[in-house]
Amino acid sequence: MQKLLTQDEWIARAQEVLPAGGFGNFDPGIFIARGQGSRVWDENGTEYVDYLIGSGPMLLGHGHPEVMEAVLDQLPNGMTFFANNAKGVELAEAIVDAVPCAQQVRFVASGGEADMYAMRLARAYTGRDKILKFEGGYHGMSAEAQMSLAPTKRVNFPQAVPDSAGIPQSVAEHMLVAPYNDLQAVEALLSEHHDIAAIMVEPLQRIIPPAPGFLQGLRDLCDRFAVLLIFDEIVTGFRLAYGGAQERYGVVPDICTLGKIIGGGFPLAALAASSDIMRHFDKSQVGAEGWLMQLGTLSGNPVAAAAGLKTMQVLKREGSYDRLRSLGAQLQKMQSEALSAAGIAHQVCGDETLFDLYFTDAPCVDYRTAHHKYPERAARWSTALRRGGVFKSPSKMYPSLSLTQADLALTEAAVQAAVSALD
């Protein structure tokens, strides 16, 4: 029998073959061995309630039986083809049925890929080069998306700051940056720059909610200046509501990107828009000059499509989103009440379906205000929660439909212990 390795042994092995000892996604000091329902276990066998849920995709929890059945039904028929398949078409139909802006869909393998193609599609459609994004907005790992994602120094708007080495200075010349929730700044930039192809925005920027009227204001400005509006719904799609942020906030963009939940835990993402915009993927309609070349080995993968389609079918059932919001509200309340009782300044920021805390007494309205006034408290808080059996990102808490009352009770005990650790 093969000897089981401890977590420390796996960490040592990873440090030999992986830069910084990890995949670049999460704390390399923890190795998750398995997940089931609302729980995950590390390589030492330590059990946690999972509020990371794969950074969002596992909204139904790990190993949901209906999703597993759909995947196991597909596997004997083939894992990938690099050709059209029925499951992919069914998934595209379900997305078109659910998402207000979607008349047609193009599949890719990751959210970052979808965001990159959305920007390229906007340029192809409008014939303009510049993209306006918001400081702190996350749109994947392309050179354009890495502009002013998490700048460590403040510069004057609309200057774009690269957040990674290896990005040519020329990329910044085609990106404009504005503060989130500031319509005046957006209007000023649209008035000054007449070569903007699109505004790209997370409707819920990381966990910062849009101010009342902000998203509709963007829609109105885009219509006025003939600029496309792109909603990055990689995170919010099928999370805030079945129709995503478009349904939740009642604002319809020209293009949206989707990921995470639509793959049911497998690598799959998409961009969607009207057939008029999407025709740029069809060379026979727009000719060689207007054609947007796009292909990918795993785009529309049938296993991922089967998992995503079943996930969406489960989410569509009556009461799913009411329950998800109720769970999120309970998690928000237990943390806020415990911190308030201890006299600890904080803000609960986000939506019931996706949120976290900032240790500050100031409102969080954009990238420059949404931060911890007391970062040492945030570090102690995260450490104490992990010690209490709560597995989450340092900056987000993702509720899932797999959560039970036992999970909430464990979480509340961890929260009380974490509050004590802040004293």
Catalytic residue positions? Answer: 138, 232, 260
Q: Which DSSP state fits 317?
A: S
- Three-state DSSP at 332 gives helix
Bond prior to 158 in cis (omega within 30° of 0): yes
C-alpha angle with apex 205: 202 to 208, nearest 5 degrees? Answer: 150
Q: What is the length of the chain?
A: 423
10 Å CB burial of residue 332 (0-12, 13-18, 19+) is buried
200 in Cβ contact with 115 (< 8 Å): yes
C-alpha to C-alpha distance for 326 and 86, rounded to whole angstroms: 36
Residues 6+ positions from 59 with CB-CB distance below 8 Å: 53, 238, 239, 261, 311, 315, 324, 398, 400, 401
160 and 146 Cβ atoms separated by less than 8 Å? no
CB-CB contact of 148 with 160 (8 Å): yes
For the beta carbon of residue 71, count every other beta carbon within 10 angstroms.
Answer: 18
* β-strand pairing of 175-178 with 130-134: parallel
Q: How many C-beta atoms lie closer than 10 Å to residue 362's C-beta?
A: 12
Distance of CA 395 to the CA centre of its chain: 12
Alpha helix ranges (H) inside 64-174: 65-74, 86-98, 111-126, 169-172
Q: Round to whole Å and give the CA distance between 257 and 233.
A: 5
